[in-house]
A and B are shown apart, each in its own frame.
Chain A
């Protein structure tokens, strides 16, 4: 019960960020994802836009903002690919909604919690993406449990570091 109390206190603690952070960070995530993968091909196992979506969702604790943010970032990510716009948008919209909804109920300041949440959302994102591509678009997509687990683990580790860096830019409002 004390935990809930603590969480309840944090619920009123709304983390806000400067506007340029909302704009620049997703763009940087997209740019780095695109540019670094050019020189380090295995970098594409990371999904920086997804991590940014999760971070803003769990810190803002607003499902609507999380949904819209996820949708915009996803569509922008779709624009860099050859697939129709909306595939990543749908996935990240759902992830943003769930992350924001979960951030209201759990302590998202803990690194362990962040890591578990990120692991679960990355895995869920892969599942939704597979569902959309394979079933909705009927395009080939290789599903490998091991590969997806490794991806989720790597993104989890990177997310912990990235979230800590992004925490430096937040400003608290009471």
Chain B
């Protein structure tokens, strides 16, 4: 037995040594402990490493100290050219950066608060500790760096190690004066990363050749070389947004065939590292200096916000002085531009192409209107009267130049100086107004404002019949384009949305149908729009949505107060006049006569139909002069249903009563009541 050991002692020693080391390896590679008991190595292994590090590190530190001392002597005592100027520049830069830092820290804190509200944990870099690299593992298979800072310097396990260029790795082992850094190129490392452009997340780890790669990524054609890769923060080690590198190429994952590995070119030069930064604090601790900077930045930001709000408030429409003279919007814009670039402008909705004739409070006060007058020039009718309209104080002009006018905030009617527009009856737009043809059956009509408030006292003549020489006025609530007559509907007019509807007998928000048996056709001119009404003798007016309100003021006319009640229009014996002392002569009002008053129709003494549009609308008030010529019964006037102006020949042609002309023939229908428009 003794000879056996003596004969094979060498082999036995080898076996024992190998067996001991294999057992040691087996112990070390057992299942790792949970995170809370994070210890990379067991106590014995750690002790061995500590001894090894303690043996190797002193010479490394000595060599590093010698090298750094020589370089320090050269840099600090010899190579001092332009140092003073650089110092001044750096101090100025430092002051500027401190202010910026305060603002950034405040933003970061705000972001943290918001993220806390969202229960999202986010880490920010608040404190770093510089360290110098004093050694490596010395092998290709292990990407380990040794730094000259340890637990006595506040270094802990799993602290991120970065450089200004990008991520380096994390702390793996900590010793009193040294630490080990596991690079991201090591196969055992791991970091949560995200591709900056494609937002593809993955796990970064080194491959066998020491190149970092995002492993097991779903194939995506969008991944291109050069795409930036940043940390995602999902690993709870690296803060979010740190640069990792750029995509080098995409290779197939050999272990997971459908998946690919994205090889990364690290942003930090890991082969030439000399100094690194260890992120030692990612909480919300703020130094007093940072707090001071934050206060300064907050004060500056508050002053800036106050100034911006003042500038913004000056431009808001609510701040427009109603007593101020009218200013053009373009000029206001120009003046705003002149004040300075980059100043925020108040947001304004785009100008409406069509007037808002359904919004309440846009009708003018009836008192501001003149009976028998209109505000828009009439191309067809005879402009026999001119009325004045109060000069608007402040007007938001409408971009639309048609007869509908724009929604204004004026205190008075804005005269329309544009040519009237002929509105086709193609149903392309809802009937803005209801061309009411009150007949004799509709008596005691009341005027209801847009809000549905009835304005008693305004009496609408069911049908105004004027002598042939006089214009005939149809009490139509105008306000831009009116609803052209559709013969099959037999005079049923419908108001849309009910807000600006006309109800001949309506009040209380209901729109009873008004049936007229007037056998003639009334051509209504509203806001410069020639609108043929239905020739049928029965004209019913109804409104949709329930709130039928007959308004004497057409939509599109805005009132200053918005709730101005409609006052009764007082006829002035055929002479249109304006109320409230408005200066006459500014607005042309056209009274159109299209036929005599039917015999059964009671001639109203006063007839006021006010229709106007803001800016381009017309206000029509009917007044029956007592000296009117004897009424002549006329047949219904046939006018084109497409809203076009009837040809002059139609004025001479006697139309067929109750005749409904197909739309295709209405264009050239020669029927025209006698004594039609003039």
Contact = CB atoms under 8 A, between A and B. Distances in A.
A83 interface: yes
Contact of B18 (A30, A94, A136, A142): A94
A162 interface: no
Across the A-B interface, give the 9 residue pairs with the lowest CB-CB distance, nearest first: A79-B52, A142-B208, A33-B138, A81-B142, A84-B28, A34-B135, A86-B21, A63-B10, A41-B271
B286 interface: no
A37 B17 contact: no
B55 A27 contact: yes
Given A82-B186, A83-B142, 13 more contacts: A37-B137, A38-B134, A67-B10, A68-B13, A78-B52, A80-B135, A81-B144, A84-B45, A85-B45, A86-B25, A90-B21, A140-B207, A141-B208
Contacts of A79: 48-49, 51-53, 56
B501 interface: no
A94 B136 CA distance: 25
Given A34-B137, A35-B134, A90 B22 contact: yes
Contacts of A64: 9-10, 13
Interface of A: 27-28, 30-31, 33-35, 37-38, 41, 44-45, 47-48, 63-64, 67-68, 71, 75-87, 89-90, 93-94, 97, 101, 129, 132-133, 136-137, 139-142
A128 to B, nearest CB: 11
A94 B9 CA distance: 15
A23 B210 CA distance: 32
Nearest to A88: B139
The CB with the most chain A CB atoms within 10 A, among B9, B17, B209, is that of B17
A45 B134 CA distance: 19
A84 to B, nearest CB: 4
Contacts of B25: 84-87, 90, 132, 136-137
A83 B182 CA distance: 11
Nearest to A89: B21
A81 B144 CA distance: 6
The CB with the most chain A CB atoms within 10 A, among B21, B133, B142, B187, is that of B21
Contacts of B9: 64
B188 interface: yes
Given A68-B13, A90-B18, A94-B18, A137 B136 contact: no
B614 interface: no
Contacts of B141: 81, 83, 129, 133, 141
A22 to B, nearest CB: 14
Interface of B: 9-11, 13-14, 17-18, 21-22, 24-25, 28-29, 45, 48-49, 51-53, 55-56, 59-60, 63-64, 133-146, 172, 180, 182, 186-188, 207-209, 271-273
Given A27-B59, A76-B56, A44 B140 contact: yes
Contacts of A63: 10-11, 13-14
A34 B14 contact: no
27 contacts: A31-B135, A34-B60, A35-B135, A37-B137, A38-B134, A38-B136, A45-B140, A63-B13, A67-B13, A67-B17, A71-B21, A75-B48, A80-B135, A80-B142, A80-B144, A82-B137, A82-B144, A83-B142, A85-B45, A90-B25, A94-B14, A101-B10, A139-B188, A140-B187, A141-B141, A141-B208, A142-B208
B52 A76 contact: yes
B42 to A, nearest CB: 10
Contact of B28 (A80, A85, A129): A85
Contacts of B187: 139-140
Given A81-B142, A84-B45, A31 B56 contact: yes
Contacts of B182: 82
A84 B26 CA distance: 9
Contacts of B17: 67-68, 71, 93
B137 A80 contact: yes
Contacts of B13: 63-64, 67-68
Contacts of A101: 10
A68 B143 CA distance: 27
A31 B21 CA distance: 23
B52 A75 contact: yes
A139 B671 CA distance: 100
A81 B59 CA distance: 17
Contacts of B145: 38
Given A37-B138, A140-B187, A93 B18 contact: yes
B63 A35 contact: yes
A129 B55 CA distance: 24
B208 A85 contact: no
Given A64-B10, A71-B21, A82-B186, A27 B140 contact: no
A131 to B, nearest CB: 12
Given A84-B45, A85-B48, A93 B188 contact: no
Given A30-B138, A75-B52, A101-B10, A142 B207 contact: yes
B142 A82 contact: yes
Contacts of A82: 137, 142-144, 172, 180, 182, 186, 188
A34 B140 CA distance: 11
Given A71-B17, A93-B14, A140-B207, A44 B56 contact: no
A53 to B, nearest CB: 13
B49 A85 contact: yes
B400 to A, nearest CB: 73
A21 to B, nearest CB: 15
A37 B21 contact: no
A174 B317 CA distance: 111
A137 B579 CA distance: 102
Contact of B24 (A37, A86, A142): A86
A133 B25 CA distance: 11
B159 to A, nearest CB: 16
